């Protein structure tokens, strides 16, 4: 334990996701010791983010306005919606530059053991977005883990309707790995999702 306020800083930092006691200590001492570190700027940005950033009223992505920059962009196709768990997944997919449609952020995955059911996610909002028939494809891009797969199962069953294509991101072998290390589930998925390379 350190004296008073330094320990308070370590405790606060340690409450942040992904920061354990050791990292919290390291960051705290960096702030205390490094003269060039601009504490005011960090404090201002934290306050500003809290004040300005909210969630897009259409897709649930983070935004500084009523709707996010992707939903406002007229060059993006309104016919395709990519469904993700978190706003950080939007960033990950945007980095690929492969996708030119719109997004829908669920706010998590269905996990009954954590008390999270379908009604706790932005699923009703997704269904509403599909009502006018503009959207012709929904790409389900939930995480390739158990909760993400279960959420995809639920959504697929819920969304299937005439005139709407529901697809799921392919999952399979990680690029750069050895086949022999792949587990049964991953390898099984890779077989399911195999594609034609020559015809």
Partner 1 sequence: MPLYRDEAVVLRTHKLGEADRIVTLLSREHGKIRAVAKGVRRTSSRFGARLEPFMVVDAQFYEGRSLDIVQQAETLGAYGGDIVGDYASYTAANAMVETADRLTDDGNSLQQYLLLVGALRSLARREHPAGLTLDSYLLRSLAIAGWAPSFGDCAVTGAPGPHSAFVVQLGGVVADAVAPPGSPRLDAATLALLGALLSGDWPVAEAADERTRSQATGVIAAYAQFHLERGLRSLEHVERAGGPR
- Of 82, 154, 159, 168, which one interacts with partner 1 (CB under 8 A)? 154
Is 176 among the residues that bind partner 1 (CB under 8 A)? yes
Render 159-170 in DSSP notation, one character per residue.
H--TT-EEEE--
Q: What per-residue string of b and e applies to 14-45 under the rule 16 or more CB within 10 Å gives b?
A: beeeebeeeebbebbeeeeeeeeeeeeeeeee
Q: If binding is defined by CB under 5 A, does position 141 make contact with Zn ion? A: no
List the one residue from 36, 157, 161, 163 that touches partner 1 (CB under 8 A). Answer: 157
Q: Which residues are CB-neighbours of 93 under 8 A, at least 6 positions away?
A: 82, 84, 99, 103, 141
Sheet strands (E) in 68-133: 80-84, 102-105
Using the minimum distance from each CB to partner 1, give the nearer residue, 42 or 146: 146
Question: Of partner 1, Zn ion, none, which one sits near residue 71, judging by CB under 5 to 8 A according to partner kind?
Answer: Zn ion
The answer to whether the beta carbons of residues 168 and 151 sit under 8 Å apart is: no
Residues 51-90 touching Zn ion, rule: CB under 5 A, are 56, 58-59, 61, 68, 71
Question: Binders of partner 1 among 59-98, rule CB under 8 A?
Answer: none
Question: Which residues make up the interface to Zn ion (CB under 5 A)?
Answer: 56, 58-59, 61, 68, 71
Question: Which residues make up the interface to partner 1 (CB under 8 A)?
Answer: 17-18, 20, 110-117, 144-146, 149-150, 153-154, 157-158, 174, 176-177, 181-186, 188-189
């Amino acid at each position: 334990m350190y004296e008073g306020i330094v320990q308070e800083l370590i405790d606060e930092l340690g409450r942040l996701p992904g920061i354990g006691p050791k990292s919290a200590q390291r960051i705290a001492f960096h702030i205390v010791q490094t003269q060039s570190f601009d504490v005011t700027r960090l404090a201002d940005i934290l306050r500003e983010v809290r004040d300005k950033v909210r969630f897009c009223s259409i897709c649930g992505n983070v935004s500084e306005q009523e709707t996010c920059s992707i939903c406002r962009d007229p060059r993006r196709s309104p016919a395709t919606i990519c469904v993700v768990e978190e706003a950080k997944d939007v960033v990950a997919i945007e980095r690929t530059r492969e996708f030119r449609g719109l997004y829908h952020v669920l706010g998590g995955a269905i996990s009954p053991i954590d008390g999270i059911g379908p009604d706790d996610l932005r699923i009703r909002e997704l269904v509403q977005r599909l009502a006018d028939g503009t959207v012709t494809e929904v790409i389900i891009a939930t995480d390739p883990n158990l909760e993400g797969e279960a959420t995809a199962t639920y959504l697929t069953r819920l969304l299937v309707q005439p005139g709407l294509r529901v697809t799921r991101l392919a999952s399979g072998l990680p690029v750069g790995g050895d086949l022999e290390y792949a587990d049964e589930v991953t390898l099984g998925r890779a077989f399911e999702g195999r594609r034609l390379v020559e015809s």
